[in-house]
C-alpha cells in the first residue's frame, strides 16, 4: 500500500471528522461536572477508571465538597474513604488534596486557565489539563489523547506514534485547531459505541470507507 501523503491524510481526516460530527452531534465530556473545580477532580479520579464509575462517586462527593477549601479542610483519610470505590483512591485523594491546597495558596481557590499553571498542580498532567482547558474554559490548547484516541488513531492510520505525547503532536498538525477539543469527544464516542477494541462493528461503521483497516 503506497505511503499516504500528509495532504491526503489531512483530507481523509477532514472527511472522518465530518462523518463523526454528523454521527455524534451531541458529543461531549461524559464526566459529570458543574464547574472547573469539579471537572479537575473528576478528571483526576478518571485515570485508569471508567467515567461511569467516577460519576457514581462524584454524585455524593460534589455535594459534600463545594470549594477547594473543602478538600483541604478534611483529614486525608476521610477524603480517601469518600472515593474508596475508585481505583488508586489513596494516591488520587492525596493528589486532589494537594492540588486544592495549591489552588487556595496560589490561585485564590480558582482553577487556573493556562497549561503551565495547570500541569504544576498535583495529579494534573497534560491530558488532564487539556480536558479542563477545552471543556471548562473553551480553550483549545491541545488534543486529549486517552486510550480510545490512541487506539482509533492507530486503527484509522492517522498516526503511527505510540506515546500520547507524540500522538498529540501529530494530531495538532492534522486537526484544525477549532476542533481540538471536540475531536477527542467524537473519537471517544465512536470508540465506545462502534469501534470496540476487540469486536469493532465495521459493517455498521459510519466512516468505514475512510478506514484503511476496515475489512
The residues that are catalytic are 127, 146
Closest by CA to 119, choosing from 32, 210, 44, is 44
Largest Cα–Cα separation, the chain: 60
Contact 80, 89 (CB under 8 A): yes
d(CA 160, CA 165): 12
- Residue in this structure with the C-alpha cell 489513596, named with its chain if needed: 90
Q: Which phi and psi angles does 169 have, rounded to 5°?
A: -60, -40
Amino acid at each position: 500500500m503506497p505511503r499516504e501523503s500528509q495532504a491526503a491524510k489531512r483530507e481523509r481526516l477532514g472527511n472522518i471528522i465530518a462523518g463523526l460530527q454528523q454521527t455524534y452531534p451531541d458529543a461531549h465530556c461524559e464526566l459529570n461536572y458543574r464547574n472547573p473545580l469539579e471537572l479537575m477532580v473528576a478528571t483526576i479520579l478518571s485515570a485508569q477508571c471508567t467515567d461511569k464509575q467516577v460519576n457514581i462517586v462524584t454524585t455524593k462527593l460534589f455535594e459534600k465538597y463545594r470549594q477547594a477549601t473543602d478538600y483541604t479542610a478534611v483529614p486525608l483519610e476521610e477524603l480517601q474513604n469518600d472515593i474508596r470505590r475508585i481505583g488508586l483512591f489513596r494516591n488520587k485523594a492525596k493528589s486532589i488534596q494537594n492540588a486544592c491546597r495549591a489552588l487556595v495558596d496560589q490561585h485564590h481557590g480558582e482553577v487556573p486557565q493556562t497549561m503551565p499553571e495547570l500541569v504544576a498542580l498535583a495529579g494534573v498532567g497534560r491530558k488532564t489539563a487539556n480536558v479542563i482547558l477545552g471543556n471548562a474554559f473553551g480553550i483549545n490548547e491541545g488534543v486529549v489523547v486517552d486510550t480510545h484516541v490512541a487506539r482509533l488513531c492507530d486503527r484509522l492510520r492517522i498516526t503511527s506514534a505510540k506515546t500520547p505525547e507524540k500522538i498529540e503532536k501529530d494530531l495538532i498538525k492534522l486537526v484544525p485547531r477549532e476542533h481540538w477539543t471536540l475531536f477527542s469527544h467524537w473519537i471517544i464516542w465512536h470508540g465506545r459505541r462502534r469501534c470496540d477494541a476487540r469486536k469493532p462493528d465495521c459493517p455498521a461503521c459510519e466512516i468505514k470507507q475512510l478506514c484503511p483497516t476496515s475489512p
